């Protein structure tokens, strides 16, 4: 996995992503803490949701351990669509 500069947390928080923004099509999502969320650049994982491409979800360039086809910021929370359905970020991991 290659970590690119846009995947890392900026030194200064510039903005917060609006509610109901989804990735893809958005490249990154920034939450209230300034954390940058994006998808890794290695597609087509065996634990992908059926019939979809999936990627590791990255938080500040670090894998979260969750593979998802998309993720979004909704009502101030980050959630990811996985093989098991929607999971939300608790602050430490997706449940």
74 CB burial (10 A radius; 0-12, 13-18, 19+): middle
**39 neighbors 19 (Cβ within 8 angstroms):** no
How does pLDDT run across 38-74, given as a tens digit for each residue?
999 887 567 777 778 889 999 999 999 999 999 999 8
Asked if 28 contacts 37 with a C-beta cutoff of 8 angstroms, the reply is yes
> Other CB atoms closer than 10 Å to residue 78's CB: what's the count?
22
- E strands along the chain, which residues? 21-23, 29-30, 36-39, 55-59, 62-68, 70-74, 77-82, 85-88
* Percentage with pLDDT > 70 across the chain: 96
């Amino acid at each position: 996995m290659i970590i690119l500069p846009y995947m890392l947390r900026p030194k200064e928080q510039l903005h917060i992503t609006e509610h109901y923004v989804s990735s893809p099509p958005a490249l990154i999502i920034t939450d209230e803490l300034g954390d940058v969320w994006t998808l890794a650049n290695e597609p087509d994982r065996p634990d992908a949701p059926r019939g979809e491409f999936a990627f590791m979800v990255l938080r500040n360039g670090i894998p979260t351990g969750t593979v998802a086809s998309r993720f979004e910021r909704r009502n101030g929370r980050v959630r990811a669509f996985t093989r098991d359905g929607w999971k939300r970020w608790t602050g430490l991991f997706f449940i």
